[in-house]
A = this chain, B = another copy of it.
Amino acid sequence: MTGVPNSKQTAANPAPERRRALLATAAEVFAAQGYDATTVRRIADEAGLLAGSLYYHFDSKESMLDEILSGFLDELWAGYDTVLAAGLAPRETLEALVTESFREIDRHRFAVAIYQKESHHLADRPRFAYLAESRRRFERAWLGTLERGVAQRAFRADLDARLTYRFLRDTVWVAASWYRPGGAHAPEEIARQYLSMVLDGIAVRE
């Protein structure tokens, strides 16, 4: 897990449904306009209450962001950890990670979009230190898999591993910016096509 002590509820949990709905609204607006450009009033409007009333549910605008991002990362790592613990071969591990990633994009589309845009400049702040930690774990998992694959002659050895890693990472996650759930392609189908392209290339083999 991310190691984040996300015990936000000072008391019990007043009304988890409402919280979740409000967070979903906030995430959508954050994703569409950017965190800084989003006003708390805008979120409240969208949710049908007044700006001040949000503070009954959340400590601050930042804590909403925090909850959105850490909630997403917690689920992501639950999925990844299962994959990584399965002891698959490199190519199968990669396939499983990619598929799992597209599933997370399907379920946390807005959180992923926010993560893409904001995580870089948030990582400095102590509160969001877990973003940097997550990024490191992420790199270890993917880059490690790639390197094992090269060693086992599953992946090409003539490519710079870090470059490859970045290309993989970015293409997968950037998909959140255009992915529409319920659209033409299910996440598993997108994963399949993506893997086919990435593993075998788009050129016709001679």
Oligomeric state, in copies: 4
Proximity bits, A164-204, B CB within 8 Å = 1, else 0? 10110011001101100000010000100110111111111
- Closest 8 CB pairs between A and B? A201-B201, A170-B174, A36-B36, A200-B201, A199-B203, A36-B37, A171-B171, A199-B201
A190 and B164 contact, CB distance less than 8 A = no
A17 at interface (Cβ–Cβ under 8 A)?
no
Contact of A121 among B34, B171, B198, B205 (CB under 8 A): B34
How many A residues, CB 8 Å from partner? 41
Q: Establish whether residues B200 and A121, one from each chain, have CB atoms under 8 Å apart when the complex forms.
A: no
Q: Determine whether the beta carbon of B166 is less than 8 Å from that of A33.
A: no
Q: Is the CB of A159 within 8 A of B196?
A: yes
Interface residues of A in 17-71 (CB under 8 A from B): 32-34, 36-37
Which of the residues B36, B174, B178, B201 comes within 8 Å of A174, measured between beta carbons? B174
A200 contact from B120, B167, B203, Cβ within 8 A: B203
The 8 Å CB contact of A32, one of B121, B160, B163, is: B121
Bitwise interface map of A from 152 to 165 toward B, beta carbon under 8 Å scored 1, else 0: 01111011100110
Whole-angstrom distance between the Cβ of A115 and the nearest chain B Cβ:
13
A203 touches B166 (CB 8 A): no
The answer to whether A103 has its CB under 8 Å from any CB of chain B is no
A148 within 8 Å of B by Cβ? no
